[in-house]
Structure 1
């Protein structure tokens, strides 16, 4: 499959979740590829499995190395591999805030509980002791706060009378193997999902003052002071682009943007004659701050002068 998203997986032990991700990636329609497996434990048996399957590995024991420095050394290997996403799969190190900050929105973890319940360790015993009907697992985005990032998917697993932490853990592990690969595949494919891209644009536009969303010729658009400052373009007029259309100063600036970076910009049909530029969203590594900046600039260009002046302060 062309244009699969490269993923690096961090492990500390047997790497069964890593193996589940790896074998799922061998399906012809899987949108990701495991390009590197890393560990802080030289005895992690998951490293041997990855090597046997032809996946590059890297190991760096953490003893005696400051946390942020160890994270940076691991990160250097991730960057060299070309990975765009990190999947933590039984990685038993708390990551430094600097590292998690650099990978915010691009690093996932699987946790053996139905978050926000039972962050940290001994999750199965805690669920049984609490009298819960179900344990389970969650995949979430990683933040500096332990097991606290946005939840991307969960699978409940029934607690059976007589369960111990070990027996429940065995069944939850089956659920983990199913859930993680499914969520990761959906996560990396979201950049080509027009619904997800529209929601991102909608949130950025709505953050600007006095914005109204209204359809224009069947496409979502955003207005301020009765004038449109952006439109959502979903492969209209025969293009492959999913894009947000924003105002430039005119055709000359539009032409310069397209010439300078044709992988980011295009001249939209009809709108382009008036200087509207298409900012392509269905591509790798979209800089959403850049998108937000252009939406703000386009909003400023059409907003009533009094309202636009307020944004300058």
Structure 2
């Protein structure tokens, strides 16, 4: 099993980082910690990571502009080969540029039941509001603070006489249980057939008058139950791969694509002689811009002229 490489960003003790690190030691865990980085060279979590043989990087953010510091961190993440980023008590607001670079690949743990109590002092705010439960959330990081899609949560009961500290201590146990599990699911979702099909479906059905059906045992996409422009194949004919099949303009384009990247493209059985190309979706880190482009090109080969004209006009805006 090829494990996904995860970089963890911390600012202090790194207890959630430790939970991720020790979970990664399980041979069945689908991720490994490639780097632990911090904006605080004195962060205790760095020593723990180093003792466990995990590469570390630390640099103070003081005296640096936010985007400049984030560029430095980003460089270290890429040097480490990180594919995903996990924020674990990283007490820095991220620049829009950094968030954009890691869009859809960065998670955060937050000590509240989002969307309640974004920001700081979450436990005291829950107690003051008279809530029966606090809790924690794992969410995808977006440009807005604590505002990305929530992937999972655990409720933690607020007991009579609880203080912010006592509630925080119990919530931390919940965070340590939740984060490794959610991260493991997150890094493997791009190899999940259901998730991949849903991504293809969203893009294919966004094209004018397209619809979805079943053809030759595969999910297929066409125009008003007419000609097909795409198929989603999962281990079809027992070849053991997940792929998108789309039309090319000519056999010459098909051959050119395969020559350019034979690991990504292939000539599918039955449809290959008609100029269709297979694009593998099970290699990890799918280039969804490329998929969207190939879907649109394929759609154009079967769409009536009036529809392509409408799309051309829309593209101008």
> TM-score, normalised to structure 1's length?
0.98
Structure 1 runs (4+) greater than 4 angstroms displaced = none
User: Aligned residue for 1:278?
Assistant: 278
Q: Which moved more, 1:221-230 or 1:63-72?
A: 221-230
Residue 243 in structure 1 maps to residue 243 in structure 2: yes
Distance (Å, rounded) in 1 between the aligned partners of 2:167 and 2:27: 33
Residue 132 in structure 1 maps to residue 134 in structure 2: no
User: Aligned residue for 1:162?
Assistant: 161
1:282 offset after TM fit, Å?
0.8
Residue 50 in structure 1 maps to residue 49 in structure 2: yes
> Once superposed, what is the RMSD of the aligned Cα atoms?
1.0
Q: Which moved more, 1:15-24 or 1:241-250?
A: 241-250
User: Aligned residue for 1:215?
Assistant: 214
Deviations 1:246-291 (A, max 9, x none): 0012333222211210121111111112111111111122110110
User: Aligned residue for 1:68?
Assistant: 67
Gaps of 5+ in 1: none
Residue 119 in structure 1 maps to residue 118 in structure 2: yes
Aligned pair count reads: 312
User: Aligned residue for 1:193?
Assistant: 192
1:129 offset after TM fit, Å?
1.1
Distance (Å, rounded) in 2 between the aligned partners of 1:77 and 1:15: 19
Distance (Å, rounded) in 1 between the aligned partners of 2:235 and 2:247: 19
Deviations 1:26-78 (A, max 9, x none): 11111111010000111110000000000000001011011100000111110
User: Aligned residue for 1:81?
Assistant: 80
1:20 offset after TM fit, Å?
0.4
Deviations 1:196-215 (A, max 9, x none): 00110111111111111111
SS in 1 for 2:73: helix
User: Aligned residue for 1:98?
Assistant: 97
Q: Which moved more, 1:63-72 or 1:237-246?
A: 237-246
Q: Which moved more, 1:113-122 or 1:128-137?
A: 128-137
User: Aligned residue for 1:309?
Assistant: 309
Residue 146 in structure 1 maps to residue 145 in structure 2: yes
2:191, 2:284 within 8 Å by CA — same for their partners in 1?
Answer: no
> TM-score, normalised to structure 2's length?
0.96
User: Aligned residue for 1:292?
Assistant: 292
SS in 2 for 1:311: helix
Deviations 1:161-201 (A, max 9, x none): 22111111111101101111111100110111000001101
Distance (Å, rounded) in 1 between the aligned partners of 2:154 and 2:215: 40
User: Aligned residue for 1:206?
Assistant: 205
SS in 2 for 1:312: helix
State how 1:225-264 maps to structure 2 within 5 Å.
Answer: 225=224, 226-264=226-264
Distance (Å, rounded) in 1 between the aligned partners of 2:176 and 2:97: 29
Deviations 1:114-173 (A, max 9, x none): 111100001011111111111111111111100011111111111112211111111110
Gaps of 5+ in 2: none
SS in 1 for 2:312: coil
Deviations 1:95-131 (A, max 9, x none): 1111111111111111001111100001011111111
2:8, 2:86 within 8 Å by CA — same for their partners in 1?
Answer: yes
Distance (Å, rounded) in 2 between the aligned partners of 1:302 and 1:74: 46
Q: Which moved more, 1:43-52 or 1:211-220?
A: 211-220
